[in-house]
Structure 1
Amino acid sequence: MSEREIIARRIAKEFQNDMVINLGFGMPTASANYIPEGVNVILQTENGGLLFGPKPKLGEADPDLANAGGEPITMLPGASAFDLAFSFSIIRGGHVDATVLGALEVDQEGNIANWKIPGKFVPGMGGGMDLLMGAKRVIVALAHADKEGNSKILKKCTLPLSAAGVVDLIITDKAVIEVTDKGLMLKEVAPGVTVEEVLSMTDADLAVSENVATMDI
């Protein structure tokens, strides 16, 4: 199982009935394919859609329907499409129960950097800042380390911040980490990964829960 699938599957376990959930592009949007049976959520995409479903089957995509990353989506019965102004009224109005966003870095203070690497061209922050400040809960999804093995979960972010002190939960391919008032708490490890391995590959200070579980994926 790829790191992307591990993360997407675990994200979906956070979904609860009747929640309005915004999915950012990348691994977050993939979680729409793994919503547990019997769980009914209202997925929102910032480009103007409410109540979308999983990725369509090959050959069944509608070119006019896409998520925040431009990937084809399905619309469930009762779904609606609208303009950006209405979409951001939902986000800024506090009507989103949770947002799931990717990140370049997060740190032990709940800060997140997910939009800019100095010296590299980027298209802009998009709706990230609005979502980080407007959603009731912020879940961050990212690989635990970069290609060189450097931790992406830091004591202090080094890249320009998108928002400060807003992250509630971090889901990586190695662990699930809760952001608390006292710092980061390791709650779960991926199958085949030990607590010691997670601690060794994490730059941030990690407290360890008394009952560390194995990720349900």
Structure 2
Amino acid sequence: MALDKVGIAKRIAKELQEGFYVNLGIGIPTLVANYIPDGMNVEFQSENGVLGMGPFPFEGDEDADLINAGKQTITTLPGASFFDSAMSFGMIRSQHVDLTILGAMEVSENGDIANWKIPGKMVKGMGGAMDLVASAENIIVAMMHVNKAGESKILKKCTLPLTGVGCVKKVVTELALMEITPNGFKLLERAPGVSVEEIIKATEAELIIEGTIPEMSI
């Protein structure tokens, strides 16, 4: 059984570490804030100038004055701070963000990411994506393994305009957790009930498979 978006966010939340400063991209990444492991202190940052974001708000609890860089409503934790975007990007460019979690349209086997533009279609735009991928040393991508036509988005080479080159470290999809190595995508875990054969079939790039691939623990 493939994961849903919540399942992807829950698995990525297991990659968080105590004291991390984390930037969350638009889409699935925003859900990660809802699943911080118990007792762990993590600071979520948004490039529009927020430090100390809390869980994604439930319907009816939104405050229109509290938004992230994608104009989605957010919550804040006690001690949260607000500042201008220049200071926020200063944090990013000086590598004070420990982990960046982004969505993507495509990821290639050498760690390239395309997540800002589909030629001929209206999308939200670049935002802070290029600064994030150029400055972050640890980038995890949350994305769907295939598009609506069933075509793989885990590729040998990206076909869409790139956001960053050789920057992605791990990818979590509805089917698998993969690490990007010098030799390409290495399959680390499979979604509950999903076989290795199903993952191979859904992946255009070659997968490195070593030994028995465990199921994810969500």
TM-score, length-scaled by structure 2: 0.95
**1:205: which partner in 2?**
206
Task: Determine the C-alpha separation between the residues in 2 that align with 1:42 and 1:195.
Answer: 35
Percent of matched pairs sharing the same residue: 54
**1:67: which partner in 2?**
68
Residues 24-69 of structure 1: per-residue CA shift (max 9 Å, x gap): 0100001111111122111111111101110234433322111222
Within a 5 Å distance, the mapping from 1:1-217 to structure 2 comes to 3-217=4-218
2:69 and 2:127 in contact (8 A); partners too: no
Task: Determine the C-alpha separation between the residues in 2 that align with 1:214 and 1:68.
Answer: 34
Residues 169-198 of structure 1: per-residue CA shift (max 9 Å, x gap): 001010000001121100000001011110
CA deviation after TM superposition for structure 1 residue 71, in Å: 2.2
Secondary structure of 1:214's match? coil
Amino acid at match of 2:76: M
Q: Check 1:60–1:15 CA distance in 2 against 1; reply closer, same or farther (3 A cut).
A: same
Amino acid at match of 1:144: H
1:3 and 1:143 in contact (8 A); partners too: no
Amino acid at match of 2:177: V
Count of residue pairs brought into register by the alignment: 217
Secondary structure of 2:87's match? helix
Considering only aligned residues, what root-mean-square deviation do their CA atoms show, in Å? 1.4
Larger CA deviation: 122-131 vs 176-185: 122-131
CA deviation after TM superposition for structure 1 residue 72, in Å: 2.0
| Unpaired runs of at least 5, structure 2 | none
Task: Determine the C-alpha separation between the residues in 1 that align with 2:113 and 2:160.
Answer: 9
Residues 117-152 of structure 1: per-residue CA shift (max 9 Å, x gap): 112233431100000011120111110101111000
Secondary structure of 1:212's match? coil
| Unpaired runs of at least 5, structure 1 | none
